[in-house]
């Protein structure tokens, strides 16, 4: 359905249905697809392997079979608990396998960061009424499991998009790169591997530092690591700073402050690279903006709004780069 189409009652009901989205997420969290990957199982066997109640799981599977995600491998009799009924992996459920392309299962896992995002929308009404969530947070406010899940999801995306960034612009003009908020180092590894002349520094919250150091060692690259809050740190001098999906986590004053800190640490003829979602796809942009509202960190911004923040920080836009994968790159230099 496009943004311009007019939904009728049936379409509105489908758009507002919470049963299917939550049923899929429970299946993803319990890893039901992986448990059925080797062949059909009874509801009782599936429940035992997944740590669920057999009768309740049977009812969930019956629903997911009716919706075409999984398959019934044997006929049921009667309307009881169906513990002897056998269920199999359907074509749709194959996308819930842990190794499916794009890792949709990990994003749908209610025990991970994806679940944290989903549950934030339960409080959308009070958030809209108040202008923000009751308790804004960031990675430090997540449970250790959710924080680790966040790092894993971001690392998988950066592993795919990092090589594209390494090809998107002329990196030969730089010698020292600082990746601010670079998670566990996947993006920086891609840059340093593609451009050996670069010396790299990762700036991240302490919770991610140990994993990042281990990843650098395993990848055979050398990089300095600075752990701490960006706004409390003195940034090292460099001729290129990379801020990927970072500024949308901040309100306007913090975004300006972050850019200002980069500008003050920028060496002659250096650049600040801002990688954020484009506002050229309205539906995606609006969805991400609403997500940033319920998470309570910041907001998505239009190109003009990023330029305004850069101007307030003493920078001007010099170029826009479009990698083959990942967000566009806004290149800013000292005004």
205-254 pLDDT per residue, tens: 998 999 999 999 999 999 999 999 999 999 999 999 999 999 999 999 99
Q: Cβ of 7: how many Cβ atoms within 10 Å?
A: 12
By C-alpha distance, which of 110, 125, 57, 104 is closest to 85?
57
pTM: 0.87
pLDDT confidence of residue 79: 45
pLDDT confidence of residue 253: 96
pLDDT confidence of residue 134: 74
Query: Can you list the residues of the chain whose pLDDT is less than 70?
Result: 1-5, 75-84, 136-138
pLDDT confidence of residue 89: 93
**Which DSSP letter does residue 138 get?**
-
247, 255 in Cβ contact below 8 A?
yes
Complete domains list, the chain, with CATH = 9-104 (1.10.10.10), 124-334 (3.40.50.150)
pLDDT confidence of residue 222: 96
pLDDT confidence of residue 138: 67
pLDDT confidence of residue 144: 83
Sign of the C-alpha dihedral, residues 190, 204, 219, 104? negative
Whole-angstrom CA distances from 311 to 260, 314, 317, 321, 331 are 10, 5, 9, 19, 13
Residue that has been written with the tokens 């319920």 in this structure = 294
pLDDT confidence of residue 74: 73
CA distance 246 to 254: 11
pLDDT confidence of residue 75: 60
Exposed / middle / buried, residue 145 (Cβ in 10 Å: 0-12, 13-18, 19+): middle
Q: Which residues are catalytic?
A: 248
């Amino acid at each position: 359905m496009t943004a311009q189409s007019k939904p009728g009652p049936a379409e509105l009901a489908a758009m507002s249905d919470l049963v299917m989205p939550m049923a899929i997420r429970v299946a993803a969290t319990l890893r039901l697809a992986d448990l059925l990957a080797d062949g059909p199982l009874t509801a009782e066997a599936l429940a035992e392997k997944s740590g669920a109640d057999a009768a309740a799981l049977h009812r969930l599977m019956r629903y997911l079979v009716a919706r075409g995600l999984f398959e019934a491998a044997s006929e049921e009799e009667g309307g009881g608990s169906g513990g002897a009924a056998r269920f199999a992996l359907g074509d749709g459920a194959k996308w819930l396998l842990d190794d499916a392309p794009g890792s949709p299962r990990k994003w749908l896992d209610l025990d991970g960061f994806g679940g944290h995002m989903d549950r934030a929308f339960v409080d959308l009404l009070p958030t809209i009424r108040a202008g923000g969530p009751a308790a804004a947070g960031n990675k430090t406010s997540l449970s250790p499991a959710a924080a680790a899940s966040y790092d894993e999801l971001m690392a998988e995306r950066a592993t795919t998009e990092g090589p594209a960034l390494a090809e998107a612009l002329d990196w030969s003009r730089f010698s020292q790169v600082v990746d601010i908020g670079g998670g566990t180092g996947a993006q920086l590894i891609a840059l340093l591997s593609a451009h050996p002349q670069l010396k790299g520094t990762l700036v991240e919250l302490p919770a991610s530092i140990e994993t990042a150091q281990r990843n650098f060692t395993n990848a055979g690259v050398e990089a300095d690591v600075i752990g701490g809050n960006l706004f409390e740190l003195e940034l090292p001098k460099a001729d290129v700073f990379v801020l990927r999906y970072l500024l949308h986590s901040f309100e306007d004053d913090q975004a300006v402050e972050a850019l200002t800190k980069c500008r003050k640490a920028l060496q002659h003829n250096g650049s600040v690279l801002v990688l954020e979602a484009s506002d050229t796809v309205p539906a995606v942009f609006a969805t991400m903006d609403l997500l940033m509202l319920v998470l309570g960190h910041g907001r998505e911004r239009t190109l003009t709004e990023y330029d305004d923040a850069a101007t307030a920080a003493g920078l001007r836009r010099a170029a826009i780069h479009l990698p083959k994968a990942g967000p566009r790159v806004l290149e800013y230099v000292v005004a």
